Amino acid sequence: MTISIDPKTFLLSKQLPNLSYSATTHRFDETWEAPLSTLLGLGRAAGADFVEFFLERSNYISCLAEDDQITSISPRLSTGAGVRVFKGKADCYVSTNDLSFNGLKSALEKALGIMALHLPAPNSYVPEINLELLRDYATKKGKDSWLQECSSMREMGEVLLAANGKLKQTATHIQSRRAAYFRDWQEVLVASSDGTFARDIRLTQSVGYNLLCADGTNRSSIGQRVGDTSNPNFLTTWDYGATAEDVSESAGKMLYADYVESGTYPIIMANQFGGVIFHEACGHLLETTQIERNTTPFAEMKGQKIAHESLTAWDEGLSGNAFGTIDMDDEGMPAQRTLLIENGILKNFIADRAGSIRTGHPRTGSGRRNSYAYAAASRMRNTYIAPGEHHVDELFNSIEKGIYCKKMGGGSVGATGQFNFAVDEAYLIENGKITKPLKGATLIGEAKEIMNKISMCSADLGLAAGFCGSVSGSIYVTVGQPHIKVDSITVGGR
């Protein structure tokens, strides 16, 4: 049987300027399939090995209460798209605020030009890319109404002022009280030349305190923040009373605490935000971005021992409402779990598409970005040390003299894992018991060394919200761990 094909049904390159598509402007849905599949086909016809479009709409607002006043309400709206073009292992990225067909086509042309690729001749056929049926996580999981269900500006102000009022009741020697909240809503659509076509809505919220106390020359500053994804009613369910009591108690103890003496100590690091050191000092070194830059000591150590045999660590996007939880990454890959370290052995790296192409490590659903202005990169999600078999008391009983690091503060990490982190709340351990508060402690070390000195992990895994900055901007992540014992580490002090 002979099949005749009408050439008029094929799109020619010269027809592109006259095309008109009616994609929905207030929502990313199936109507975007036709224009995006055409543009992806144009990119492939120009000689690109792979083309990806990332579309985004975002609605952000933050609110700050200082003492008994609302001092700042900052909204931000944005809409835009980015196109990424690969040729071999090289790639480039161009972003635009113009989501019309011609606007996206112009961005694609610029990206192709950067890669020394050219649009096909006027009479060349442009094959449309056959995209999958839209994987719509937002509609499937009831996320389309989230933005309307979030707290109003009035409610934000009322909650934060009430929270600051509670802090005034619970703390003493107050110099300043701050309660801050933000809500970040984002709708994204990913379409790429491998057929990916996926949509999602993310809702990330965070609220917390910062308390500064002073009495003469004595000072203490304690902050505490909680975060959530996927719960529009998050702010109204915040137990600010319990948080105020916790922050006030910590600030009071640190106000008159003795300064720690510099030296080398065994330490116990608390669960939850204590995991920030693993995130910074080790997690980043397991991203394929670091392999590409030759800035990780672990590049050739897959399958080898890089940590104490007591340590197992995960990175995943699936833990309930945790800060780094995502249904899909910013390249359209569904979230999953990645075993990073098992009993001290390096098992996997954290990889996005570019990292996978350039290093050979498989993608892990970890292509993430701050917004459409950035190309996706290998980034962490919920990253934590897994729970161990010990009871917390066993960790303390194993230490004759050491330091308990209850709350971690800020710090810095060098390119290859050297770090220093301040400890906001610390206590002296003597003969297995906490004896007195200490302040001014700074933990100093190197990733390759400290990972081999984490000799005991308790069973009380806790997660905490965090923010992570890297090549693709600032993103929301979770850090975490159970209580852990580090056999020895340098502690800076007085």
**What tens digit of pLDDT does each residue of 356-403 get?**
999 999 999 999 999 999 999 999 999 999 999 999 999 999 999 999
CATH 3.30.160 fits 7-58+77-138, yes or no: yes
pLDDT in tens, 143-191: 999 999 999 999 999 999 999 999 999 999 999 999 999 999 999 999 9
Residue 1 has pLDDT above 50, yes or no: no
Q: What is the pTM of this model?
A: 0.94
> Region 238-245: what's the mean pLDDT?
97
Residue limits of CATH 3.30.160 in the chain: 7-58+77-138, 146-189+200-256
Model confidence band, residue 5 (pLDDT cutoffs 50, 70, 90): very low
Q: Give the C-alpha distances (Å, rounded to integers) separating 236 from 106, 166, 228, 248.
A: 45, 15, 12, 21
Pick the CATH number of 146-189+200-256 from 2.60.40, 3.30.160, 3.40.50, 3.40.390: 3.30.160
Q: Quick check: 91 and 84 in contact, CB under 8 A? A: yes
d(C-alpha 241, C-alpha 253), whole Å: 19
Model confidence band, residue 9 (pLDDT cutoffs 50, 70, 90): low
CA triple 196-198-200, angle to 5 deg: 155
d(C-alpha 61, C-alpha 343), whole Å: 43
Q: Quick check: 167 and 248 in contact, CB under 8 A? A: yes
Q: Which long-range contacts (CB under 8 A, 24 or more apart) does 295-299 make?
A: 295/415, 295/416, 296/416, 296/417, 297/416, 297/417, 297/447, 297/448, 298/346
Model confidence band, residue 2 (pLDDT cutoffs 50, 70, 90): very low
Using DSSP, state whether 376 is helix, strand or coil: coil
Model confidence band, residue 464 (pLDDT cutoffs 50, 70, 90): very high
pLDDT in tens, 413-458: 887 788 899 999 999 999 999 999 999 999 999 988 999 999 999 9
Model confidence band, residue 303 (pLDDT cutoffs 50, 70, 90): very high
Mean pLDDT of the residues in the chain: 95
d(C-alpha 202, C-alpha 186), whole Å: 5
Cβ atoms within 10 Å, residue 354: 25
